[in-house]
Amino acid sequence: MNDGGLSAAHSARETPVPSMRQRAMRLFLSDFFVLYLSLAYFLVLMPFLPTLSNPANIANILSNMWPLLVVAVGQTFVLTIAGIDLSQGSVVGFTSVVGAMLLATTASPDVLSNAPIWGTIITENGGPLAGVPGGVAIAILVMVAAGALIGAANGIAIAHFQMPPFMVTLVTMIVISALAIYLTQSENIRNLPESYIQLGKGDIVSVYFGEQDESRIPRRQIHSFVTYPMLIAVTVAICAHVLLNRTVFGRQVFAIGINRKAAKISGVPVKRVIVLVFTISAICATVGAILYSTRLEAGRPTLGDGNFLLDVIGATVIGGTSLFGGKGKIIWTVFGVFFFVLLSNTLNLMNLSSFHIDMVKGTVIVAAALLDVLRTRLIQGDAL
Amino acid sequence: MKPVSTLLAGAAFAAASLGVAAPASAATICFAFQDLETEFWVAGHTAITRTLEEAGHTVIERNANEDANRQLEQVRDCIAQGVDGVIIIPQDGESAVTIVNEAQDNDVPIAVFNRPPSDLSKGIVVVADNASIASQAVDFLAQEAIANREGDGKLTPMIIVGDLGDPNAVGRKDGFYAALENYPDDFNTPIEVASEWDAATALANLEAAVTANPEIDLLFTSSDFLFPTIRSVFEPRGMWARQGEEGHVVMGGLDGDATACQLLKEGYIDATGVQDLYFEAEAALNAILAAIEAGEAQPNEVIEDPGFALTSANLAEREMDMWGCVLLSEGFLDQ
Amino acid sequence: MTELLSFEGLRKDYFGVPAVRDLTLGIRKGEVVGVIGENGAGKSTLMNMIGGVVAPSAGEMRWLGALYHPRSPSDATARGVAFIHQELNLFTNLTIAENIFVDDFPSRFGLIDRTAMRQRTADLLRQLALDVATETDVEKLTPGERQLVEIAKALHRDAELIIFDEPTTSLTPRETAKLFETIERLKADGKTILYISHILGDVKRLCDSVVVLRDGQLVAQEKAEGFDVPDMITAMIGRALGGLYPERSAAPSSDILFSAKGLCQPGILEDVSFDIHAGEILGLFGLMGSGRSEMARIVFGLDPLEQGELTLQGNPLSGGVRARIASGVAFVTEDRRAEGLLMDAPTVDNLSLVSIEEFGRTSLAFLDQARLEQSTEHLKTEMVIKAGDIRTQPVRALSGGNQQKVVIGKWLMRQPDLFILDEPTRGVDVGAKFEIYAIADRLAAAGSGVLFISSELEELTGMCDRIMVMNRGEVTGRFDRSDFSDRDILAMAFGKKPETNGVAA
């Protein structure tokens, strides 16, 4: 008894009550830091932007989150092995075309007759899987296979030929998006079957808020909260989380990211893991392609162009995944995507121009990268 | 571009939309455009915003920077903000259809301006009739060429065609042929030069075509943006000359940009067909305001813009109806 | 003599864990004071506090009696503290003079006054008996000369306290002797010296008094006279060390476990053959570039082999690293940081890395987290790895000895037959060295073969059953334990023909 009392007193002295500063540190280093930051940002802006918290806007934020999340999850794997995948955008564009050319129910010769796929794959009667039972599933399998092939090619070039990921995926990006544009001659493929479009737009739970009379024409105000994209994205994120944190493969991914040489000497199948990681990244991009192209109701070769990569890599890095490898969590990416989408949304609501929005986004990404450096330094200082 | 908006501006706007008294007929319109990279769009954008603001309406601008997906998200954000109507210049015909559906599903009237959706049946759609505009311009060119003819051989016309995957390019080419059909005895079969809407491609093909056929009497370019390209091919050959000077080729285009306006004033070119941007803007606006006034959430209507040709003959009266000349007078080319 | 620097109840915590505590100590002006302790004993933390890199959590420091709380390294420099580090902080592309004046170039009429620089530098070099031109580029100097330039820099800034941190690791014996002369001279000029080193013989020879730290606390402050190396070790590790090497617990068997026949790889190995018996520790000695580490990499399947045969328990070894590991080969590389550890990952991840595939049915199935933690916890206890929370604390935070135990530990989960240890005790303190030797002995006693590569001849003669010597890719000598002779082994390492014919293995 006496001993117990003594040691308790002793340990109380050894670990003093955390000060304000230590608490702030703990918050700053927490996995949920970006989520807290997002919520704080939301609360601060709420009085200024009343639209922010209205149901329609929240439904928008959610709906913008899902496709980006799916793609960013793939990027998280790649960043964790200290790689980078610049080809994700082009995979989104390419596979959206692949899916659309297989599934289109009809197509117009005015638009597509110059395209190399006209007559061979797609005709006035649509694609080969138009009206075929289970066609949507087959088309998705083909899309995933195409995406996986591109990802595996990236991985093989990087792992087996020791080429830098930046170079390899940059070339893939150029080649694949050129291929997508060539296949359709830069045209979009419309007339997708309803069951496919449901994947990008379908509601499961919608909420009716009654008539609202803010605008001069009363609206129906039905807002989708639980949607197919949500189910798909959440499923992808959970699977990815399990894969990265609960499997042998996940451990090997981290090992390679932290120290590739040591991993190799310890018997980690480095090449196999790298190929798999880039394949996962491309498959995630393909799932993203399904969500993006169905919500725009067309296969678009130019989907994923432009600033798309900024959004993907930016959201992932804001979450806290390190560009230097060895540090990444799916939950971080979820919060990063949430913050990024919230940021875009609020900048829109402030009526900023797209140039200003991109400038702010860029600044936020740099700030996130700096924050990462700071956090790493703090953690290492802790370990000194 | 609007000047930099700040958080304060956002707050001010928010306050306004919360029901601070506004003119009875005032509406909040979301204007979502695809980019401002060419002067045409700058002018279109200015035309819309100015007209709206002068009428006391509130304009929320959204620039999608050529990203259809972003435009969809922006229009959704606008709808969430509670705008009364949406006007878009879409990235392409396909995404236009999706966005129109999105707005109509949410009971928000929408008008598509300038670039037609691939499905014209939904929304207020303002389209320029490319064929009619082209034929007005080419008709004037043909008369000029005939008037300037030396001797009585047939004249050789040439057309620079755009990317034929683009319905605009097809319409312009059709208009060109339709105009020349009125003078069957005066013209040879036209020489076609492909440009794919790309200056470099146009340069290479035009060089080849002019080398093969040095005697050209009439040149029509499917878009005004190619005039600098044409100049770089013609000038070394002594074919870049003002009206009445030795070597002048009767020349015209379509679009009506600031460069074309300047060249027309200087006499290097003779005509340009032009979409009546101000007509289009006004038509789109009036239709959307009427729908709002009538409480009509899904107005569907196609409005045609016949356009006109600005020529060396009518330059004095109609100059200020052409958007390029307006930009020019505002010092656009000096920037 | 007055005290230049003193500490009173000094303490430094890193997130609640004390690295230095209750430290009360005085350093007298003009003394050479040795600071010794195992890795993790608190030496670096103490130096960081003196140097203004970190601030103490409690207690105070005094400089000539006045409170001394440097807020930054430049504060400390201004007060007169100079560090001579293991890794030197010179600009190799600049000249000696430029390095010495790098942060305050003298100027005249707004231009750099090169003449003044040269004169001052020449004076300093003369004081240190360094006979090179002031305009020599630093990259052309030897490590010993560079160190003298660092000292010159310290003198130029009127340093009162010069702290040497493991200064002899990259020096030749001649350079070391010269450094000691220099330190004597600095002392004669009234400078105070803190000398940190693992080489206790040097500390004994050089210092006036010795400070011993253990677990962040001061355990002894003695006059060097009468404080001998065994006393130092006892103070450092807190117990008497029976001997430097453990008794070997079992004799090797006569069964050949591993054999290499006629290994050839152009430019690296030339007809190398040897056997390792079950239960045997075979020492491999050679200088840098003798091909010893290269051979280890070849045996482990990291580098290609043009000709020759490798067999383990009668089965030929082939394939890459994964195949060798599956056959029962383990490899502790010489570069622990670059090739051995995932520095930013916790101990659990490092220990389980080699055998990770045994904890999941397939590589994409759930890991058996409970069994994994149990196994690693067991290994940690068995190997006496001193670490905080092994699931969260990165191994970067462990001391060198504990890091090395983690590297060895990750192979133990698989119980390999052939263990290649390349410089396993480099940068490891005395106590941990003994434990590593004991692990090697345990492995051999359990019937594994150990190939022990080292450039410290003493530990090879202390631990091995036989020693093989290599020079330029060839085996130049083989010795049985009864024939061990430092002189002969060294001679063969330098490529001399054996005088007496060592018994062939």
Contact call for B92 and A344, based on CB within 8 A? no
> Which chain A residue's Cα is nearest to B58?
A351
DSSP C236-292: HHSS--S-SSPPP-SPPPSSEEEEEEEEEETTTEEEEEEEEETT-EEEEEE-TTSSH
Find the CB nearest A267 among C354, C365, C366. C354
pLDDT over 50 (residue C441)? yes
Helical ranges in B82-125 per DSSP H:
93-105
Q: Which helix (H) or strand (E) holds A93?
A: helix A88-103
Nearest residue to B178 (alpha-carbon basis) of B130, B213, B237: B130
Do B and C make contact, counting contact as 3+ CB pairs within 8 angstroms?
A: no
**pLDDT at residue C52, as a whole number:** 87
Q: In Å, how far is C397's CA from the nearest CA of chain A?
A: 5
Asked if the Cβ–Cβ distance from B65 to A358 is below 8 Å, we say yes
Q: Contact C366/A242, CB-based, under 8 Å?
A: yes
Q: Indicate the angle between helix axes A228-246 and A270-295, nearest 10 degrees.
A: 170
Distance in angstroms (rounded) separating the CA atoms of residues A170 and A177? 11
| Residue among A242, A263, A383 minimizing CB distance to C396 | A383
Banded pLDDT at B7 (limits 50, 70, 90): very low
CB atoms within 10 A of CB A377: 10
> Do residues B91 and B66 lie in contact, with contact meaning Cβ atoms separated by under 8 Å?
yes
- Name the residue in chain B with its Cα closest to that of A201: B102
Reported confidence tier of residue C106, pLDDT bands at 50, 70, 90: confident
With CA atoms as reference, the chain B residue closest to A307 would be B67
Q: How far apart are CA A56 and CA C34, in angstroms?
A: 72
Look-up: residue for tokens 């919230």? Answer: A342
Q: What's the confidence (pLDDT) of residue A261?
A: 93
Taking CB atoms and an 8 Å limit, are A351 and B61 in contact across chains?
yes
Placement of tokens 């328990």 in the chain: C313
Tens of pLDDT along B262-300? 999 999 999 999 988 778 888 888 899 999 989 898 999
Chains that touch C (3 or more CB pairs under 8 A): A
Strand locations in C76-183, DSSP E? Answer: 81-84, 107-108, 111-112, 161-165
Query: Given this model, what pLDDT does residue B169 score?
Result: 87
Q: Is the pLDDT of residue C287 over 80?
A: no
Pairwise CB contact (< 8 Å): A56 & B64? no
Give how far A250 is from chain C: nearest CA, Å.
8
Task: Write out the residues of chain A at the interface with chain C, using a CB-CB cutoff of 8 A.
Answer: 14-16, 22, 242-243, 246-252, 254-255, 258-259, 261-269, 326-327, 379-384
Task: Show which of residues 13-72 on chain B sit within 8 Å of chain A, judged by CB atoms.
Answer: 13-14, 17-18, 27-28, 60-70, 72
**What residues of chain A score a pLDDT lower than 50?**
1-15, 382-384
Q: Which residue has the higher pLDDT, B21 or C481?
A: C481
Q: Is A63 an 8 Å CB contact of chain B?
A: yes
Is the Cβ pair A267, C333 closer than 8 Å?
Answer: no
Confidence of residue B14 (pLDDT cuts 50, 70, 90): very low
Query: Could you tell me which residues are beta bridge partners of residue C421?
Result: C332, C452
Residues A277 and A262: their CA atoms lie apart, in Å, by 19
Residue of B5, B167, B295 with shortest CB distance to A350: B5
The answer to whether the Cβ–Cβ distance between C356 and A383 falls below 8 Å is: no
Closest chain A residue to B30, measured at CA: A351
pLDDT band per the 50, 70, 90 thresholds, residue C158:
confident
Cβ(C172)–Cβ(C163) below 8 Å: no
Is the model more confident about A278 or about C67? Answer: A278
Given this model, what pLDDT does residue A4 score?
39
Which chain C residue shows the shortest CA-CA distance from A241? C366
Average pLDDT over every residue of C268-297: 91
pLDDT tens-digit map of B84-99: 999 998 888 888 999 9
Query: How close A330 gets to chain C, by Cα (Å)?
Result: 17
**Backbone φ and ψ of C425, nearest 5°:** -110, 10
What confidence score (pLDDT) does residue A178 get?
92
Contacts of B172 (CB under 8 A, 6+ apart): B130, B131, B133, B134, B161, B162, B222, B223, B254, B273
Pick from A307, A349, A353: CB nearest B77: A349
Specify the pLDDT at position C496.
66
Q: Is the pLDDT of residue B35 over 70?
A: yes
CA distance C354 to chain A (A): 5
**DSSP helix, strand, coil percent of chain B (3-state; round to 5):** 45, 15, 35
Among B57-61, B190-194, B229-233, C346-350, which stretch is predicted with the lowest mean pLDDT? Answer: B57-61
A344 in contact with B, Cβ within 8 Å: yes
CB hemisphere CA count around A91 (13 angstroms): 35
User: Is B63 in contact with A54 (Cβ distance < 8 A)?
Assistant: no
Mean pLDDT, range C388-401, rounded to an integer: 85
Mean pLDDT score of chain B? 84
Model confidence at C407: pLDDT above 60: yes
Worst-scoring range by mean pLDDT, A85-94, A375-384, C127-136, C413-422? A375-384
In C, minimum Cα distance to A26 occurs at: C15
Judged by a CB distance cut-off of 8 A, whether residue A96 touches chain B is no
A203–B contact, CB cutoff 8 A: no
**Which of B30, B91, B94 would you mutate first to test chain A, the one with the most A CBs within 10 A?**
B94
- Please, what is the average pLDDT of chain C? 87
- Using CB atoms, list chains with 3+ pairs below 8 Å to chain A: B, C
User: 3-state DSSP: chain C helix, strand, coil percent, rounded to 5?
Assistant: 35, 25, 40
The answer, yes or no, to whether B and A have at least 3 beta-carbon pairs within 8 Å is yes
Are the beta carbons of A217 and B69 separated by less than 8 Å? no
Chain B residues near residue A62 by CB distance under 8 angstroms: none
Q: Which of C252, C269, C257 is nearest to C419 (CA)?
A: C257
Give the whole-angstrom CA distance, residue A85 versus residue A170.
8
Of A249, A251, A380, the CB nearest to C349: A251
H or E element, residue C196: strand C192-196
pLDDT (tens digit, 9 = 90+) per residue, B209-233? 999 988 899 999 999 999 999 999 9
C421 pLDDT band (50/70/90 cuts)? very high
Bridge partners, B110 (sequence order): B86
Q: What is the largest CA-CA distance in chain A?
A: 92
Q: Which of C14, C45, C338 sits opposite A382 (nearest CB)?
A: C14
Report the residue from A59, A111, A296 with minimal CB separation from B95. Answer: A296
Distance from CA of C178 to the nearest CA of A (A): 33
| Pairwise CA distance, residues A147 & A283, whole Å | 5
Query: CA nearest A342 in B: which residue?
Result: B77
Q: Mind listing the pLDDT tens digit for each residue in C332-360?
A: 998 888 899 999 899 999 999 999 999 98
Place of tokens 């075929």: A132
The answer to whether the beta carbons of residues B76 and A344 sit under 8 Å apart is: no
Neighbour-count burial for A306-331, b at 16+ CB within 10 Å, e otherwise = bbbbebbbbbbbbbbbbeebbbbbbb
Q: Shortest Cα distance from A116 to chain B (angstroms)?
A: 13
Q: Which residues of B touch A354 (CB under 8 A)?
A: 62-65, 70
* A94 touches A176 (CB < 8 A): yes
In DSSP terms, B86 is beta-bridged to B30, B110
Tokens standing for B140? Answer: 């004037």
The percent of residues in chain C predicted with pLDDT above 90, rounded, is 38
**Shortest distance, CA C11 to any CA of chain A (angstroms):** 12
Residues B218-254 as b or e (16 or more Cβ within 10 Å = b): bbbbbbbbbbebbeebbeeeebbeebeeeebbbbbbb
Helix A228-246 with A194-201: angle, nearest 10 deg: 70
Under 8 Å between Cβ of C97 and C117: yes
- At residue B8, the pLDDT reads 32
Q: Find tokens 């054996």 and name the residue.
A: C498
State residue B232's pLDDT score.
Answer: 92
> Quick one: pLDDT at residue B52?
82
Rg (CA), chain B: 22
Pairing of strands C3-14, C17-28: antiparallel
Q: Cα–Cα distance between A369 and A383 in angstroms, integer?
A: 21
Chain A and chain C share a number of CB contacts under 8 A equal to 102
Which value does ipTM take for this structure? 0.82
Residues of A (116-175) whose Cβ lies below 8 Å from B: none
Q: What pLDDT was estimated at residue C486?
A: 83
Which chain B residues touch A303 with a CB distance below 8 Å? 68-69
> B198 CA to chain A: closest CA distance, Å?
14
Q: Which residues are C468's β-sheet partners?
A: C284, C478
Helices A20-29 and A33-45, packing angle to 10 deg:
100
Nearest to B279 by CA among B133, B101, B137: B133
Q: What does the block give as tokens for A244?
A: 């990265």
**CB-closest option in A262, A379, A380 to C340:** A262
Q: Is B10 on the interface with A (CB under 8 A)?
A: yes
Total residues found in chain B within this entry: 335
